[in-house]
């Protein structure tokens, strides 16, 4: 089976709607298909990666820890847009760190998140074969 470049585009905040959660479910299932997978977080999608999510009082499932498992699924190209962070008064420190172990580098722990500009994000989109938006 041929390998395609899959890009999952996340532009919506978590909890207000189910899209972030169900998008993550697609990414986890899709990881088994050994495609070239990247995730894009832009616009309100950057809120999905916010640190310190606690959902006990709203009575919903807190799915933010699941993002930290992505590295174990070999999903380690996670692009976050700088301009989207800026527009929301956020920095990388406001997001939970996501890491993976690089098998080509003696399993060294590396950051999965890469902060990119709008122009770089546009190029990542341009290079994708299949773009899934939720």
Partner 1 sequence: MSQLHTVNKSPLDRNALESAIQHATKGNAVLMIEDGVYGAMQGTQKSAIVSDAIGDISFYVMGPDLKARGIDEARIIDGIKVVDYSGFVELVAKHDATQSWL
Partner 2 sequence: MKFSVMISEGPYTHQASDTAYNFTKAALENGHECFRVFFYHDGVNNGTRLATPPTDDRNIVNRWSELAEAHKLDMVLCVAAAQRRGIADADEARRNGKDADNIAPGFRISGLGQLIEAGIQSDRLVTFGD
Contacts with partner 1 by CB under 8 A lie at 9, 11-12, 19, 42-43, 118, 121-123, 125-131, 133-134
Does 4 help bind partner 2 (rule: CB under 8 A)? yes
Question: In the complex, what is the shortest distance from the CB of residue 29 to partner 2, in angstroms, rounded to a whole number?
Answer: 4
Does 19 help bind partner 2 (rule: CB under 8 A)? yes
Question: In the complex, what is the shortest distance from the CB of residue 52 to partner 2, in angstroms, rounded to a whole number?
Answer: 26
Stretch binding partner 2 (CB under 8 A), from 29-37, 43-51, 82-90, 91-99:
29-37
Q: Return d(Cα 66, Cα 68) in angstroms, integer.
A: 5
Judged by CB under 8 A, how many residues of this single chain contact partner 2? 19
Closest CA to 6 of 96, 16, 92, 26: 26
Secondary-structure percent of the chain, ordered helix, strand, coil, rounded to 5: 40, 25, 35
Do residues 114 and 49 touch, judged by C-beta distance below 8 A?
no
Do residues 76 and 100 touch, judged by C-beta distance below 8 A?
yes
User: In 31-126, which residue ranges form alpha helices assigned H by DSSP?
Assistant: 64-67, 82-87, 118-126
Identity of the residue, 45 or 71, whose beta carbon is nearer to partner 1 in the bound complex: 45
Identity of the residue, 71 or 121, whose beta carbon is nearer to partner 1 in the bound complex: 121
């Amino acid at each position: 089976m041929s390998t395609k470049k899959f890009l999952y585009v996340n532009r919506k905040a978590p909890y207000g709607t189910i899209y972030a959660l169900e998008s993550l479910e697609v990414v986890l299932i899709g990881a088994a298909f050994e495609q070239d997978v990247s995730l894009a977080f832009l616009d309100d999608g950057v809120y999905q990666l916010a640190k310190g999510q606690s959902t006990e009082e709203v009575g919903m499932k807190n799915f933010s820890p699941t993002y930290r498992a992505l590295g174990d699924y070999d999903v380690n190209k996670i692009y976050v847009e700088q301009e989207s962070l800026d527009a929301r008064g956020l920095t990388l420190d406001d997001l939970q760190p996501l890491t993976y172990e690089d098998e080509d580098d003696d399993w060294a722990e590396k950051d999965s998140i890469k902060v990119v500009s709008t122009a770089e994000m546009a190029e990542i989109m341009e290079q994708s074969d299949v773009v899934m938006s939720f």
